[in-house]
Homo-oligomer: A and B are copies of this chain.
Amino acid sequence: MPDDLDISAVRPGQLLARGVCRHLLSLDFVSVEELTPERGLRVDVMAMGRKGEIWVVECKSSRADFQSDHKWQGYLPWCDRFFWAVDEAFPVELLPEDTGLIIADAYDAEIVRMAPEAKLAPARRKKLVATFARHAALRAHAARDPGARLWAG
């Protein structure tokens, strides 16, 4: 199995995010990690489908990680569908039933429960796609030209 990541160097939630992003890609959703839709709010994974659908996935590595998250309802206005991603040992009965559920590991993931859809208003979707584009372009730019950061305003 391909594995170019130094697994020991990253947080467990990031490993779940890796598997999640791979699975989303197989569904033709592109994704970014750690996007900030508004000040003070950072989502683990934001994904965009072919029709501009926006999904948010929060990755929780443990019960404590989930229970310490007091912000998650703040993510709901920033996506069409909201999912949790957890590993197979996670006590899924803790998670609200009206949210999506993804079981993941570092290598892949599976959608176990589709999230209900709450469609973004057109103006917010437009802004969010632009935010997504900007975030992704900055990451891609940093990857192809590490020296470029010195030019950022």
Contacts and interface: CB of A to CB of B under 8 A. Distances in A.
Contacts of A30: 133-134, 137-138, 141
Contact of A153 (B1, B27, B48, B153): B27
Given A132-B133, A137-B48, A151-B26, A145 B32 contact: no
A89 interface: no
Interface in A21-36: 21-23, 25-28, 30-33
Contact of A2 (B1, B108, B146): B146
Give the copy number.
Answer: 2
Nearest to A147: B2
Given A21-B148, A145-B18, A146-B4, A137 B32 contact: yes
Nearest to A30: B137
Interface string A122-142: 000010011011101111110
A91 to B, nearest CB: 28
Chain A to chain B: the 10 pairs with minimum beta-carbon distance, closest first: A2-B147, A143-B143, A133-B133, A136-B136, A30-B137, A139-B140, A136-B137, A22-B151, A140-B140, A25-B151
